Amino acid sequence: MKNSIKALCLFVVMTNLSCGQKSENEVNMPSETSFTAELIVDGLEIPWGMVFLPDGSMLISEKSGEIILFKDGQKSTITNGPEVYNRGQGGLLDMELHPDYENNGWIYLSFASEEGEDKGGNTAIMRAKFDGNSLTDKEILYKASPNTTKGQHFGSRLEFDDQGYLYFSIGERGERDINPQDITRDCGKIYRIYDDGRIPEDNPFINESNAKKAIYTYGNRNPQGMVKHPETGAIWIHEHGPQGGDEINIVKKGANYGWPVITYGINYSGTPITDITEKEGMEQP
């Protein structure tokens, strides 16, 4: 059940034309389905992430900042969660257990945080422990900067790979022409760190002057899906794009995923972003 809930079912149809540039989009609905839906937890508002604990109970993050424990059919609120910047798409976001959770007890959370000198917020990564009623031993492992009052594109999915590295996403925070293609700036990136927040010595930009050393890929827009492939161990991401610009990408060390230089999407107003859908040195959407 755990793997089936978290697994991504990815179907991608690529054509020579941008989906966003078609006058009409077609949606093919299945005539039959091989599954049924069952209500497990009700009364939620904007649940964003969830993890299953070893005893089968579940922690659920609400965008508002509330952490819910669902156990034996009952919901309770967990205290001492992080203070969140609950604006637009920001708030309390993803949750992930350490691969060795049963021995070390670490839970990882991503959330929009106001920490910093600038007004607004940006994505932060925290680890903490859970004593059954509240979070303890809270540690901030990464905080993107600068803050901004823009309410979009916090990214913030979390995933561990087979080597125990923690990957997380941060969206470009609505600054598409400033952040994604600049490795000296946070936002519009996939990051890789050790489980305690240290920067791996073999990260791709570790020796680049002024670069953000935790960056693993760049040119990303707003990755809000992330999963480890169960067979290959590769990290896959789903990127929210503009109209016709959603992407499924496999994370590659140092790769540039092109946003906003190349894309199949167009602005929500219907105006074009670019006619370029591929460029040397960039991963094609």
Residues with catalytic annotation? 153
Angle at 85 between CA 82 and CA 90, to 5 degrees: 105
DSSP-derived pairing of the beta strands 47-52 and 58-62: antiparallel
The CA distances from residue 78 to 59, 123, 128, 258, in Å, are 9, 21, 12, 40
Partners of residue 59 on adjacent β-strands: 51, 69
Rounded Cα–Cα distance for residues 121 and 89 (Å) = 11
Rounded Cα–Cα distance for residues 241 and 126 (Å) = 27
Rounded Cα–Cα distance for residues 237 and 249 (Å) = 5
Rounded Cα–Cα distance for residues 89 and 119 (Å) = 17
Ordered DSSP codes for 206-249: TTSTT--TTEEEES---EEEEEE-TTT--EEEEE--SBT--EEE
